[in-house]
Amino acid sequence: MKVLVIGGGGREHAMCWKIQQSPKVERVYCAPGNAGISKNAKCIDIQSTDIEALVRFAKAEEINLTVVGPEQPLARGVTDRFIEEKLKIFGPSEAAAQIETSKAFSKNLMRKHDIPTAFYSTFYDFDEAMNWVRDVKPPLVVKADGLASGKGAVICKTENDALETLDSMMRGKIFGDAADCVVIEEFLEGEEVSFIAFTDGETVLPLETSQDHKTLLDGDHGPNTGGMGAYSPAPVVGSELFGKIMDRIMVPVVRALREEGIRYKGFLYAGLMIKDSEPFVLEFNARLGDPEAQPLLMRMKSDIVPILNAVIDEELSGYKIEWMNQASVCVVMTSKGYPGDYKKGVVIRGLEEVENMDNVVLFHAGTAFKDREIVSNGGRVLGVTAIDNTIKDTIDLAYEAIEKLRDEKFYYRTDIGKKALTHI
């Protein structure tokens, strides 16, 4: 069969790498892809949000299965359009993707269906939001309702911080229309984990556990980013907590959506705060996490293609996923300056040496070809991903690899995976 992956980041590279290994697959395409993806798939020059061009391509090439990586095409209804054209596609519908594209939608759904999450209120009116902030105790988190590339949640330590943030979002329009509505919620202290499952709208089939590192600097300091590194498994999620997450969050939210008339099919990602061994939802995403995808797919033993098809066909019940017992760690190399301004077009040296290492895979995020060399082309550049028997050995291997790429124009955190060591 022929498979098309939509997107061009580290997550999509991991998807192409995994899908290409399926004996059922004869060809993988990726739109738009990147320099690294071109080793595992044929890259097509179509942007991931150009829905009509994607439909035309899938029809012309007789694509048997399309898999959506990022949230933007989901938000624009790529799934609904493909289904209209009788094309097979993996990813939630536009209505189902609201769980990510509208924080007010997802918080209201959780409140209505008793799914544990932080206390909150939603506002369309600036003065009402200001008055509410004056009545509650900081710290607070102010969130733009819509998509804001992972930058739409601001932790406000003081009342003044919260008022300034509200002003910049609602009046200053720093996120455009995405902050016409804001959610303000209680700040939760604890440890953050990612919990991702396949669901066909009825059965929820969880992936292994994983943990991201959202902030730029070591020790979880600095501004939020798309994710600076991830590992799997996450030892903080023992079997009891795993059960609570499934029983109180994952299964109920899929049921809740069904009760609201929405059948959710695709990856469902819960960003959770674990507080005193209890899970609370910070957000839902309608897709696989990036960089969580890299260590998760590296550990996945089962062929992913039959599972993707079972989700689409609503036949997920009875499926099991086999996982490697080993640990996997992904350290993200970024352009210096990210998540602020950074330079593109910097030549990346040492790639071949790392590619030749055993048990290490280089997943490309923002890379491109220039004069036959591979250059940086985004904020997150590479996800250096290792697999080994223990988390400690895996961390060492990932860092041995990334050190070979060291360059003053790039940056990476030096403590990815350290948190896991505190739990074993």
Question: How far apart are CB 85 and ligand GLY at their closest, in Å?
Answer: 28
Taking phi over 0 as left and psi of -120 to 50 as alpha, with beta for the rest, 5 belongs to beta
Residue 100 engages ligand GLY in binding (rule: CB under 6 A): no
| Nearer Cβ to ligand GLY (64/285) | 285
Q: How far apart are CA 416 and CA 219, in angstroms?
A: 9
208 binds, among ligand AMP, ligand GLY, none (CB under 5 to 8 A by kind): none
Residue 48 engages ligand GLY in binding (rule: CB under 6 A): no
Other Cβ atoms less than 10 A from the Cβ of 39: the count is: 14
| Nearer Cβ to ligand AMP (155/321) | 155
Segment contacting ligand GLY by CB under 6 A, of 83-91, 152-160, 202-210, 283-291: 283-291
Question: How far apart are CB 284 and ligand AMP at their closest, in Å?
Answer: 9
What φ, ψ does residue 373 adopt, rounded to 5°? -105, 160
104-136 in b/e burial notation, b at 16+ Cβ within 10 A?
bbbbebbeeeebbbbebebbeeeeebbebbeee
- SS3 of 90, please? strand
Q: Say if CB 101 and CB 71 are below 8 A apart.
A: yes
Helix 251-259 × helix 103-112 angle, to 10°? 100
Question: How far apart are CB 176 and ligand AMP at their closest, in Å?
Answer: 16
Q: Tell me which of 40, 285, 294, 367 binds ligand GLY, using CB under 6 A.
A: 285
Segment contacting ligand GLY by CB under 6 A, of 117-125, 240-248, 286-294, 307-315: 286-294
118 binds, among ligand AMP, ligand GLY, none (CB under 5 to 8 A by kind): ligand AMP
| Nearer Cβ to ligand GLY (80/290) | 290
- SS3 of 239, please? helix
Q: Tell me which of 10, 289, 366, 379 binds ligand GLY, using CB under 6 A.
A: 289
227 binds, among ligand AMP, ligand GLY, none (CB under 5 to 8 A by kind): ligand GLY
Residue 12 engages ligand GLY in binding (rule: CB under 6 A): no
CA distances from 229 to 225, 266, 344, 387 (A): 10, 23, 21, 14
Question: Does a cis peptide bond (omega within 30 degrees of 0) precede residue 32?
Answer: yes
Residue nearest ligand AMP, Cβ-based: 153
- Residue 352, judged by CB atoms within 10 A of its CB (0-12, 13-18, 19+), counts as exposed
- Applying CB under 6 A, the residues found at the interface with ligand AMP are 118, 141, 143, 152-153, 155, 185, 187-188, 192, 214, 224, 271, 273, 282-283
| Nearer Cβ to ligand AMP (51/99) | 99
Q: Tell me which of 109, 212, 241, 378 binds ligand GLY, using CB under 6 A.
A: 212
CA 196 to chain centre: 9
Residue 325 corresponds to which tokens in the numbers above? 């017992």
Residues 152-181 that bind ligand GLY (CB under 6 A): none
Binding site for ligand GLY (CB under 6 A): 150, 212, 227, 285, 289-290, 292
